[in-house]
Every structure is written in C-alpha cells, then in structure tokens.
Amino acid sequence: MEEKKKRMQELVELLNRARRAYEQEDTEIMSNYEYDKLYDELAELEQELGTTLASSPTVNVGYEVLSELPKERHERPMLSLDKTKDVEQLKEFLGGQKAVISWKMDGLTIVLTYRDGTLQKAVTRGNGEVGEVITNNARVFKNLPLHIPYQGELILRGEAVIGYRDFERINEQIEDVDAKYKNPRNLCSGSVRQLNNKITAQRNVKFYAFTLVRAEDVDFQNSRLYQLEWLKEQGFEVVEHHLTDREHVETEVEWFSHQIAENDFPSDGLVLVYDDIAYGQSLGTTAKFPRDSYAFKWADEIRETTLLEIEWSPSRTGLINPVAIFEPVELEGTTVSRASVHNISIMEDLELGVGDTIQVYKANMIIPQIAENLTRSGVRDIPKNCPVCGGATKIHIENETKTLYCTNPGCQAKQLKSFALFVSRDAMNIEGLSEATLEKFIGEGFIKDFSDIYHLNRYEDKIKTMDGFGEKSYGNLVVSVENSRTTTMPKLVYSLGIAGIGLANAKVICRAFDNDSEQLMNASEEELNEIPGVGAVIARTFVEYFAQETHRELFQKLLAEVRIQQEEQNEQAQIFENMNFVITGSVEHFTNRREVKEAIEARGGKVTGSVTSKTNYLINNDVQSGSSKNKKARELGIPIISEEQFLQMMENGGKIV
C-alpha cells in the first residue's frame, strides 16, 4: 500500500513537470504516448486507493495563465473531457443515445460573446476557471464574423488553430533555430495571445466553433446538431461533425482516422457529445469531466522493430539532436525508418541502445515517435566528438533536460549560418544557395570556405545528379555566382560575418578607409574608435578578426574573385547616437532582426545581445511576454517597445510620441 502511495506521488510530480515543460517552457521531456500511459496508471492507482492528491493532473484542469493580458473568470468552469482509446467504451457511452462526433482540434480554446449582433468579447480557456481576454486579436482571425444576424446574447466556444502549411511558412521565416515553434499548437497559442494584433493577423489564425453555450430565445429543438447548423447560418465555420449512434460509431471513427492525413489543421482525436441537450445536461459533471461528452484519442498503430543506430544530427546552434534509425515499418499507410528522440533525457528514460527491440507509432497519426523500448539495453556511446567537425562535445543540463552540444566554435554545422549570410541578398546576393543546399554542399566537401563557392564548377557532374538539381538549376546557380562577382567593398566586408558588423557599420568603416582593402585589414582600434557610430566593442572585434592570418588570407582570396565597385553615399541622421538597443523575438516589418540592427547602427545606435543597465530600449513585438529579457528589462525599468513603436522613433527623430 505504501509503495503504491509513493508511486502515486511520483506520478503526480512527473506528470505535472512534463505538463509545465510543455505548456510553459515549450519543451518536451516525454512523448505524448508516455504521458498518456503514466496518466492512466495514476488514474488507476487513485481509483484503487480511493485517494486523489490536490495537485493531481486528474483533477486540476490547467495551470494559472502567466502572461499579462487582462484576466476574466468564466461564467462556468470549462472542464476537460474524459477520454478513451477504445471504441467499445464509446459504444457504452452512447447506449441508446445519438451523439455528434467531431474533430478534437489541437489549438487554443476560445469563448466568444456576441451582443446585438456584434462581437463583444473573446476569452481564452486559461486554466478552465480564469482565462485571458484576447478580443482585439479575435477580431483579426481569418474566418471569424465580427457581425452576425442574431441580435440577442450569444456565447459559444471553439478552437483557434493554425494550419500545418502556415506553421511551416512562419517557421521558415524565423532565422534563429532556437526561436522556431515546436508545433502548430504552440504557434497558435503565441499568436492568439499577442498584444499587437497585427502579428495575429499575419499568422492566419482560424476559428472553428464546436459548442453553443447560450443563445436567448432560440428554439434549438433540444439538439446539439441543430445548434451547430444554426451557428453555420450565423456565419461561423463549425468543426466538421456527423450524427452517429452505437451501431455506426465504429465506422465513423474509421472514416475520421482516414481523413486526418488530408487535413491541414492539427487534431489529437475526436469528441462525442450527446445530441439530446436536456438528457446530457441532466447527467451533470464530475469534479473534472462533463458527463455528456467523451474524447476519443487515436489508438496508436504500434509496430515492433529493431533500433539500428542513433544518428547524431548537429545544428547551427551547436545542439546535436539524437535521431533513432530503425528497420523500416509500415505506419498509418507510409514506410517509416527514423524518429527524433529530442534529447538525451528521453533516451535515458527509454534506456535506448542500438539493437534494442522498440515499438514505434505516429503521434496524432503524423509524427513518428518511439512508444516503448522492450529490451532496454541502456544508453551508451554518446559521442564525445562532433560528427561534423570532430570537436569535443558537452552535455548541457537545463530545466532537468540533458542535451548534447558541440563546443567547437568553428564547427562547419555552426558555420552554416555564416555561409547563409555570405550568400544573402544584402551580402553577396547569390540565389540558388538555400541553407539546405549549402548544408548538402558542405557535407559533400564542395565548400570549405567562402571562396570555394566561386569554384563549384569543379563539381558540376556531381551537383547535376543531386536531388533538386539538374542542367537548368545548375546553370542558374552558375549565373548567380558569376553575377555576384560584381559587388561593393561594404557588402564584401559585411559578408565575412564579423561579429557586430552589420551592413550599415561596414559602409561607415569602408567609407572612412576609402574602400582600401589594405587599410581595412591593418586598421587599429584607435582609428576605428574615431569613426562616429563605431565604438570600442566593434573596433576591437574588427581588429581581432583581421589579426588572424586565416581571415586575412580568406579576404584576399575573395578580393581575387570579385570586382569592387564604388558605392553611392547615403548619410543617415544619427538619431540613435549614444543609444543601446536589444532586439528579441520575431519581426514583421523587417526581413529579419539583422535588418533592424542595421537600421539602428546606420543611425548611430548600438545593438547588444543582453539587457543591462546600459540598455535604453528592448524591442520585442510580444511586449507583455514573460521572457527572460522582458523580465530583466522590467526589473531595470527599461522600456519594452514593439516594432511599431520603433518605426515611430525612426520617423520622429529617435523619440516615441
């Protein structure tokens, strides 16, 4: 008995930690499959022992919201749904009743209130009792009607979601790998809870109604199905739904399971709710679940296979991700042979070793995951050297999660960003060399330094046979490389990727030395310090860069490849002189944060990476977020401004009006 109580406490702590990590820190310390399995174990123990801890996730609907959006208590608590993976339980739930079956969408639940035909209020689910008021953002959801025919008070619930295509598009625009969103749900949550609804509008958030809470003086014929059809008539998109009963529910579940692969939006299961409203309401609720509804989670198709290897995949941030490579198996209609393991902590939880017999499945029928390790031989052979550069690796622990990093600052994988900068529009402007292509060329050994890009013709035959390349695409690449040979000295200096040197700074420095390459390479800190807008830090990094013989040789090799043209001078008013900025988060009006940095530097300001007492402004479109930089700025009394406010400063001589 004592052991079971102890296990129950362990499960409560572990599940709460996993949920905090997922909901508040955007990290995963266990798979959905593992979470569900442990949750079910906890529920069984609680039933057996007749004990439920106050902090148990089986009775706590959610965590308190952490943002600084206005809060509002819901008129009635928004409860979770009891769940099953067994169709037979759905049949038991239905009995002799009919029910509406629909998608369980994986986004952010929103409560809307309309009065006199106009949207009055939108509130997130929050912790089920208190939500965040996001009315301003709801007004820019792509498909949400601001005005409807019905003139009474209407309250309804639905899901705000972002589709997979928009999720991929938005993530592609984020240069910083660590800032990319993990999944559409996290992106949707961040988008819906913005203070600047321009950002929300650009994210293509859609709203799908799934429950009518109240509408005065309307006869809904005691039918949930009729309510959804009525909401359609009011202009709402409603969640796809069918009417079913005990006899047909298995067929319906099968239909939805085939349909999920065609959907653009994420779904983690199905929902059944009794069509008979009065009957459903007469059943009341438990402490956590309404009795008129049931959630069905996909009974994951699980296959046994053998783990062949752990592939360690380095990224430009230095993070080395473990990927499980296994004997191919058929899952949900496709052949699968690899799955991300995310980090060392998950590997250790699974005791994952090469040769183990593992069970694999697709989370939400989409993403390959390891469900269980049947033989558990144990984690071994975590690489001590980076598979790309051979540099030493280091295990990093943060939020109780172990990850592996390459410690070599010169690692080619880390330099991918440098090569991407070199070919970017504001640098050498070479089209056809995406990061994916650069990664392939670096891996094949075609490119070891920037100058090698001008000699890709050495590998013409190999390149033409690579995926995504042929005669035409290779020809286009060659033309683009040749066109890039005509450039300016500031663009060439900027393309080197010297720390702190944006294009604006490069222009100022090159102008001061008459675009003379010898003077630039031999400039002293004192000379650079005398240039307005440069400063001691930039002067030091510039001198330190050219103090290295390898950098001087690279610069000279590049000079031999290009033709330098004189650049037209365009002086900017130094409105940000003696001002220090920090930029964080995604940007909307600029291509990337680098462009914001250049705009500041061109006007005499400085950009640093961390908030200190010397910082004048922190630029963050998510002004009210609880990020570490925002917290630090608030502690120091430093203004946090949006990109919109920064643009106002540029228009108003460096002042916010």
Active-site residue list = 104
DSSP string of 86-127, one letter each residue: -HHHHHHHHTT--EEEEEEE-SEEEEEEEETTEEEEEEE-TT
CA distance 640 to 625: 10
**Coil vs helix vs strand at 640:** strand
Which residues, in sequence order, are CB contacts of 626 under 8 Å at separation 6+? 66, 67, 68
> 603: which DSSP letter?
T
CA distance 570 to 178: 35
Environment class of 550 (CB within 10 Å of its CB; exposed 0-12, middle 13-18, buried 19+): exposed
The 3-class secondary structure across 415-441, one letter per residue, is HHHHHHHHHCCCCCCCCCCCHHHHHHH
Q: Could you tell me the two tokens for 409?
A: 């600052």
CA distance 269 to 296: 6
Which residues, in sequence order, are CB contacts of 262 under 8 Å at separation 6+? none
**Nearest C-alpha neighbor of 213 from the set 137, 273, 296:** 273
**Coil vs helix vs strand at 519:** helix
Q: Could you tell me the two tokens for 435?
A: 């990061």
The residues that bridge with 406 in the sheet, in sequence order, are 393
CA distance 597 to 505: 10
**Secondary structure of the chain: what % helix, strand, coil (to 5)?**
40, 25, 40
Q: Which amino acid is at 68?
A: E
Q: Could you tell me the two tokens for 506?
A: 């490069």
Place of tokens 């079971």: 4
> 129: which DSSP letter?
S
Could you list the beta-strand ranges (E) of 468-593. Answer: 486-488, 563-565, 580-583
For residue 570, count other CB atoms closer than 10 A to its CB: 7
